[in-house]
Amino acid sequence: MRKIGLLILVLVYIAPSFGQPVEKDSIQPEMKNWVLSQHFSQRDSTVLDTLLTGLQAYNKMYRVNSYPAYLGNNGTAGISTNYFQRINSDFFFLKYNLPYLNMPEEQVYFNTKTPYSRFSYSTGGGKKKQEQNLGLIFTQNVTPDFNVGINLNLVLSDGQYQYQKASDLSFLFFTSYTGEHYSIFGHLGMNNVKLSENGGIMDDDQLEGSLTEDVATNLNEFNLASTRQKNRNIQIVQHLSIARFKSAKNDSTKKNEANLNDKKDWARLIHVLQYKKNHKSYSDNEPMSGFYRNVFQDTISTYDSVYYRTFYNSLALDFKSNPKRKFRFAANFGIENELVKYSYNIPKEITDVNKITYSSYTFPQADVSLNRIETLYKVRTNDNISNTSVRGFLVNNMGAGFGWKAEARMYFQGYKAGNFQLEGMLFKDFKAKKGISTFSIYGSIRNERPDYWLNHYASNNFMWDNDFKFENETRVGAAYKDVGRMFRVSANVSLIGNYVYFDTIAMPAQEGDVFMVYGFDIRKDFSLWKFKIRNKINIQSSGNQEVLPVPLLSYSNSTYFEHNFYFDWTNGHLLFQLGFDLLYNTRYYAYAYMPSSGRFYNQKEKEIGNYPFFDAFVNFKVKRTTFFFKFEHVNSGLTGYDFFTVLHYPMNQRKFMLGFSWTFYD
C-alpha cells in the first residue's frame, strides 16, 4: 500500500501538468548517446527508449525474446522458442538470466550538456506475492569531453507459487572521455542473481481448484533449494588516432561533440581490456528427497560451486576511407587473447559413478542412486587455459544505398584452437512511396568446440567428462524491411552438424547426424483510424525435433486504441493508449528445466502450447512521465489451466501491475 500511495502522490504532483503547454523534447539536440559496435571499434548512435508504445512490457524477458519460454516468475531463467533468436554467450551459467542483467558489451555511453536521469518503477501481484521492478540511470558531463554515469536495475519477485522467489540486481558505473586524438570508455559492473528453486509443480492438474500457494512443488520446505550467481566485470576500451584526413585539421565540429571525432580518422589503434569473474552455487538441504537421479558425494546436504574467470585483451588496427566519398571502405584487423580459469568443487575422475543408461528416463520419475566417495569431497579442480585468435572485418558502402560486409575470426591456440567463424552480409536500399526499403542477404559458417562446461563438469547430482566433436553450423538468410509500410519479413535456414544438447535425463549429448532448421518471420503493423495493430508471426521447422524441439507457429499481437487528449485552454496534451497483448504458440515438446545444473533440457513427457495468453493494459504519457496499468493473463482459468511454457513450471495467474517512468533533463 505504501508503494501505491507513493504512485498516487506522484500523480497528484504532476496532475497540474495536464494543462501545461507541451514542451519540445530537448533530449535529442542536447544529448548524444551511442554503443560500441564492430568489436568496440565504431560508435553507433542509439535512441533512448522514451516511447509510450510497449511500456507495459516491463518484464525484460519479453523485450529480449519475442517468444520466450521461462519459469513463470519475473527474474527467472528463460530461453527463446525462436531458434534464430537465441543468445549464444560465453556466460554458460548466466546466459538464461542475461535479459535482466547489464553487460559491458551492451553499454550505452553519453555526452550531455546538462545532467540526465531516468527513474522507473513498477509493482503489483498483491502483498504476499509482491513483484517490484526498479530502474535508475543518471549521467552528466564533468567537462565537454568527459562523462560519468551510473545505472541500477533491480527485479524482486516473490512468485505466486511456493519457493519461487527471484532477485536480480545489476549495478554499474560507466564513463567516457572523447578527445580529439584519444578516447577511452570504461565500464565497472556487478550482477547478482538469487533464485529459490522449486523444481516445478508435482501435479499439473492441481492448478484447477487450488490456490497457487497450495500447489505442491517438487522441491519444498525440506529442500530449501536455491541458486546464487555473481558476476563482476570491468571493461576499458581505448581509441588512439594515428592518421587523420587532411580536411580534419580545419573541421568546424565543436569540441564538445567529441563522439563524432572518429569520423575524422582514417587509421586508429584500438585496445580492449576485459575482466570478468563469475561464481555459481547451488544448495539443497535434502539431496535424498527423490528428486535427483544421482547423489554422488553428500547425502546430508548439497553445495555445488563453480567459478570461472576471464582476462581478455585485444589489439586492433582500424582503417576507413573518407566518409565524404561516394565509395566508402573500412577495415579492421586484430589479435585477441583470453586467459580463463575454470574451477569446480570435486575432481573430474571419480570411481564407482553410476553409468547405467536410462534411455526412457524423464525427471523426476526415477530412483535415486547413491555413489559417495568420502575422501574426495571438498577437493577442487582448477583448469587454466589461454585462448588466442586473429580476427578482422571489411566493410564497403558503394553509394548511398548499397554495401557489403565480411567478417572472420579464427582461434589458433588454447582450448578453442580450431574454432572459426565467417560472416557476410549484402544490402541494397530502394526508394519507396513511404520512405526507404531495404533488402539484405546474409550468411555465416561457424565451427566451434563445445563450451568447456559441456565437456567437463562435476557436482553432487551431475558429473560428466566428455570429448565432444566440434559443432558446426552453416546459416543463410534474407530480409526485406519497409519502414514506411511498417513491414518486415525474413527467412533463415541453418544446417547443423554435431549439435550438442541436453537429453531427457538432463545430461549433455551430441547428435551425430546433420539436420536443418528453417525459420520464417513476418512483422506487420496496421493503423486504422486511432487503432494500432502490431503483429509478429514466426514459423519454424526442425529437421530433428528429438534433439532441437521448436513450435511450428508462434504469434504475438498488440492491439490498442491511441488518442492524444488536447486541452485547448492551456495548450496541454496527454497521450493515451488502451489495448491488449496476445501471445500464442502451437503444441510441441517444450523444454524441461533442471535446477541443479541450471539447464533447459529435452523431455518427452508432455506437449505444451496451444494456449493463448491475454494481457489488458492502459498507458499514458504526460510530458516526460509515462504510466501503465496492466492486467496480466486475464484469461487465467477461463480458457483452461494448461498455461505452461516450460514443463511443470506454470505461468503466473491473473495479476495486476502498475508502474511509471520519469525522465529528468535539466
Chain segment 185-240, per-residue pLDDT in tens = 999 999 999 999 999 999 999 999 899 999 999 999 999 999 999 999 999 999 99
Those residues with Cβ within 8 angstroms of residue 635's Cβ, 6 or more apart along the chain or in another chain: 612, 613, 614
Query: Residues 237, 242, 245, 246: is their CA dihedral positive or negative?
Result: positive
- Maximum alpha-carbon separation in the chain: 84
pLDDT of residue 566: 85
3-state secondary structure of 411: strand
pLDDT > 90: percent of the chain? 73
CA distance 70 to 589: 14
CB atoms within 10 A of CB 431: 8
Instruction: For the chain, list the domains and their CATH numbers.
Output: 2-665 (2.40.170.20)
Helical (H) or strand (E) element with 292: none
What backbone torsions phi and psi does residue 504 show, to the nearest 5 degrees?
-75, -5
- In the predicted model, what is the mean pLDDT of residues 7-33? 49
Please tell me the distance from the alpha carbon of residue 614 to that of residue 56, in angstroms, as a whole number: 13
- The three cell numbers locating residue 23: 514542451
Element (H, E) at 573: strand 572-585
**How is residue 580 written as a grid cell?**
491488449
Q: Is the pLDDT of residue 650 over 80?
A: yes
56, 80, 499 from 62: Cα distances, Å: 11, 9, 27
pLDDT digits (tens, 9 = 90+) for 595-633: 999 999 999 999 999 999 999 999 999 888 999 999 999
Q: What pLDDT score does 577 carry?
A: 95
Contact 169, 191 (CB under 8 A): yes
What CA–CA distance (Å, rounded) separates 426 from 405? Answer: 7
Q: What pLDDT is recorded for position 590?
A: 97
Rounded Cα distance between 513 and 314, Å, is 36
The reported pLDDT for the residue numbered 377 is 42
- The answer to whether residue 1 scores a pLDDT higher than 60 is no
**pLDDT attached to residue 569:** 65
pLDDT value for 47: 80
Strand partners, 563: 576
Cα 84–chain centre separation: 14
DSSP strands (E only) in 83-181 = 108-112, 116-124, 131-141, 146-157, 166-178
Report the percentage of the chain scoring pLDDT > 70: 87
- The pLDDT assigned to 609 comes to 96
The pLDDT score that the predictor gives to residue 375 is 35
Q: With 90 as the cut, is the pLDDT of residue 52 above it?
A: no
| Integer Cα distance of 339 and 617 in angstroms | 48
Burial class (CB in 10 A: 0-12, 13-18, 19+), 80: buried
Q: Which of 250-259, 384-393, 464-473 has the lowest mean pLDDT?
A: 250-259
Say if residue 107's pLDDT is above 60.
yes
Question: What's the mean pLDDT in 326-344?
Answer: 92
pTM: 0.89
| Residues whose CB is less than 8 angstroms from the CB of residue 447 and which lie 6 or more positions away in sequence, other chains included | 418, 419, 420, 421, 470, 471, 472
Q: Quick check: 354 pLDDT over 70?
A: no
Average per-residue pLDDT in the chain? 87
- Given a cut of 90, whether residue 50 has pLDDT beyond it is no
Pull the grid cell for residue 453. 562446461
**Which pLDDT value is given to residue 84?**
96
Region of poorest pLDDT, from 29-43, 328-342, 602-616: 29-43
Residue 413 or residue 54, greater confidence: 413
Separation CA 556–CA 583 (nearest Å)? 5
User: What is the torsion angle, in degrees rounded to the nearest 10, for the CA atoms of residue 157, residue 158, residue 160 and residue 161?
Assistant: 120
Q: Considering only 254-268, 419-433, 484-498, which range has the smallest mean pLDDT?
A: 254-268
Residue 598's CB: how many other CB atoms inside 10 A? 23
So what's the pLDDT on residue 242? 92
